[in-house]
Amino acid sequence: MDMVFHNQRNRMEILEVTQVAPTSNSQESTTEFRLPLTFCDIFWFKFPPVERLFFYQLDELTPACFNSVILPKLKRSLSLTLDHYLPLAGNLKWPPNEPKPIILYTPNDGVSLTVAHSDADFNILSSDGVYDASELHPLKPDLVTSDVSASAIAVQLTLFPNKGFCIGITAHHAVLDGQTTTMFIKSWAYICKQGNEENSPLPPELTPFFDRSVVKGPDGLDMLYLNQWLASSGSDSDTSKKSLKITTSAGGGAASDLVRATFEITREDFKKLRERVLPKLPDSGKEVHLSTFVLSFAYVTTCMVKARGGDGDRKVAFAFTADCRPRLNPPVSQNYFGNCNRPKFEVAKARDFLDENGFVFAVQKASGMVKALMERWVLEGMEKILSDCFDVLKEASESKLQIISVAGSPRFGVYGTDFGWGKPHKVVIVSIDKSGAISMAESRDGSGGIEIGLALHKHEMNNFSWLFPRCV
Ligand SMILES: CC(C)(COP(=O)(O)OP(=O)(O)OC[C@H]1O[C@@H](n2cnc3c(N)ncnc32)[C@H](O)[C@@H]1OP(=O)(O)O)[C@@H](O)C(=O)NCCC(=O)NCCSC(=O)CC(=O)O
């Protein structure tokens, strides 16, 4: 890992802020479309939005070519894609007579689109790092939220003259999860690459499924979560309680002195990690779920706890989100639009990871968490999970606890997102710098490895990059 630290003052010019609406040709876009929120959506009610950037390298891309070819194609295809994803052109609203907020699309709604030019160093920002986390912030669009309305998504297209461009998408987590966000972006890319034909259907694997009745959970969980969110607002006034405005406080503050880097765990590394851990597991690991996810999560967690060091008694919460679609009974289509996931987390002592057998401990813990999802009801324990999350977030904000969670997934296949100009040079999740999360994606070269994105304090990043090749 190259530990040269890059810090640059990047210059950015916003050229246009506009709304992209579904095409008026589509029959659906001329009528209202409502979607209720399920308990899975309301769980995420005020969590910070998820911000993704897709960097496309196009050497010699001139402003003229960007403005006359790329920009019109991206805008037109976004509009056509919204015909299939009307709720994303809409907003979260809370009508006075409704017990909970809804997603509402009304004709003339659209997605906020920002167009910008940047003189920042494309090569650094789309590299494996290390650079200031805040350098990415000008590239992500801000989700518009207020007391009475919250956008579902926002999009930004940024040109880096003679280098390429970047597509930024910010998603309201109560509207869509990572599975749906990536399906939407792939649909947009598909339509763009196909040449923007009107009324053309999406292939089955990209066609969203809007029937909310298939996600069934324990009765009353939606209102339980909503009431917990309202109680957490700290306000007695009904208007501010019911406000749809998102502040970053729910997931911790924004980055100020964090740096970012990407680390890869290759297929060969996984082989080595398996070989090292197996002899140390009871019954030669027969009962342990040794997937690449479990190995990566356990390995990175161990390195992160060691990178922070300190008191062995301090608490560490390690958490991930599981996709419930295949695990519900009956299973729900992967095309289900919205949130169909559950967080899973456990709290341990730093000592358990700092120990000589820290990695073995982490593997057993992560394996147990994944196995519980398979062997028991996938929604077990959901009644307590939001209040437990609030407790953990509070302790983390008081620096009493280190949270390590996972955003994204190697299954999303983000590097397959081709709008017609090739696959992305780099995909990052900007919002990990607010949440203490690591990000995961498949390796870009399709070699079966996993890419891990980190945003850490500089000294922890130094420690991490020293430890990463030699932690086990
Ligand atoms: C709970 C899990 C993380 C556990 O993963 P595991 O891989 O350990 O376990 P598993 O039983 O699911 O899979 C076992 C093996 O089958 C393979 N496998 C199974 N299903 C697969 C699929 N659909 N695509 C590709 N591979 C698959 C796995 O790669 C693994 O093999 P091998 O060992 O070879 O790997 C996962 O099941 C899961 O739900 N992933 C999705 C998480 C997710 O949606 N995150 C985003 C949350 S939203 C969010 O964070 C915000 C956002 O992103 O916007």
pLDDT at 250: 42
Task: Provide the whole-model pTM.
Answer: 0.95
Cα end-to-end distance, the chain, whole Å? 17
Contacts of 88 (CB under 8 A, 6+ apart): 82, 111, 152, 153, 175, 176, 184
Candidate from 176-185, 445-454, 463-472 with smallest mean pLDDT: 463-472
Say yes or no to pLDDT of 163 above 90.
Answer: yes
Mean of the pLDDT values across residues 360-370?
Answer: 97
pLDDT digits (tens, 9 = 90+) for 264-281: 999 999 999 999 999 999
439 lines ligand 1 (CB under 6 A): no
233 φ, ψ to 5°? -70, -15
Preceding amide of 107 cis, omega within 30? no
Closest C-alpha residue for ligand 1 atom 26:
411
Report how far ligand 1's centroid is from the alpha carbon of 283 (Å): 25
Closest C-alpha residue for ligand 1 atom 25:
411
Q: 63, 306, 30: which is closest to 165 by C-alpha?
A: 63
Helix then strand then coil, % of the chain, to nearest 5:
40, 25, 35
CA 156 to chain centre: 16
Query: Which ligand 1 atom minimizes the distance to the CA of 294?
Result: 8
Say yes or no to pLDDT of 76 above 80.
Answer: yes
Contacts of 153 (CB under 8 A, 6+ apart): 88, 111, 143, 169, 170, 171, 172, 175, 176, 181, 184
Say yes or no to pLDDT of 339 above 50.
Answer: yes
Distance CA 205, CA 277 (A): 37
pLDDT at 7: 55
Say yes or no to pLDDT of 419 above 60.
Answer: yes
Contacts of 270 (CB under 8 A, 6+ apart): 292, 295, 448, 449
Ligand 1 site-directed mutation target among 52, 265, 290, 293, most atoms within 8 Å of CB: 293
Say yes or no to pLDDT of 251 above 60.
Answer: no
pLDDT at 4: 53
DSSP state of 257: S
Q: 93, 143, 111: which is closest to 21 by C-alpha?
A: 111
Closest C-alpha residue for ligand 1 atom 52:
178
Domains of the chain (ranges plus CATH)? Answer: 12-233 (3.30.559.10), 258-411+418-468 (3.30.559.10)
Tokens of 311: 């008191």
pLDDT digits (tens, 9 = 90+) for 280-301: 999 888 899 999 999 999 999 9
291 lines ligand 1 (CB under 6 A): yes
Closest C-alpha residue for ligand 1 atom 13:
291
pLDDT at 11: 81
Q: Average model confidence (pLDDT) for the chain? A: 93
Q: 249, 364, 252: which is closest to 301 by C-alpha?
A: 364
Strand partners, 428: 53
Strand partners, 345: 319
Distance CA 459, CA 445 (A): 30
3-state secondary structure of 234: coil
Mean of the pLDDT values across residues 76-101?
Answer: 96
pLDDT at 267: 96
pLDDT at 42: 98
pLDDT at 198: 80
pLDDT at 383: 94
Outline where DSSP puts E strands in 207-314: 258-265
3-state secondary structure of 435: helix
83 lines ligand 1 (CB under 6 A): no
Say yes or no to pLDDT of 379 above 90.
Answer: yes
Distance CA 93, CA 160 (A): 36
Task: Compute the Cα dihedral for 195, 196, 198, 202 and give only its sign.
Answer: positive
Query: Which ligand 1 atom minimizes the distance to the CA of 344?
Result: 1
320 lines ligand 1 (CB under 6 A): yes
Report how far ligand 1's centroid is from the alpha carbon of 323 (Å): 7
378 lines ligand 1 (CB under 6 A): no
Report how far ligand 1's centroid is from the alpha carbon of 333 (Å): 15
For tokens 């919002």, name the residue.
431
3-state secondary structure of 206: helix
Preceding amide of 378 cis, omega within 30? no
296 lines ligand 1 (CB under 6 A): no
Mean of the pLDDT values across residues 443-457?
Answer: 96
Report how far ligand 1's centroid is from the alpha carbon of 409 (Å): 7
Say yes or no to pLDDT of 135 above 70.
Answer: yes
Closest C-alpha residue for ligand 1 atom 54:
178
Cite the active site residues: 173, 418
Higher pLDDT, 370 or 435: 370
Q: Counting beta carbons within 10 angstroms of the beta carbon of residue 4, is it exposed (0 to 12), middle (13 to 18) or buried (19 or more)?
A: exposed
Q: 318, 267, 264: which is closest to 436 by C-alpha?
A: 318
Neighbours of 420 (CB within 10 A): 16
Say yes or no to pLDDT of 245 above 90.
Answer: yes
Its ipTM equals 0.95
Say yes or no to pLDDT of 430 above 60.
Answer: yes
Ligand 1 site-directed mutation target among 88, 270, 321, 336, most atoms within 8 Å of CB: 321
For residue 370, what pLDDT band results from cuts at 50, 70 and 90? Answer: very high
Tokens of 169: 């998408």
Say yes or no to pLDDT of 3 above 60.
Answer: no
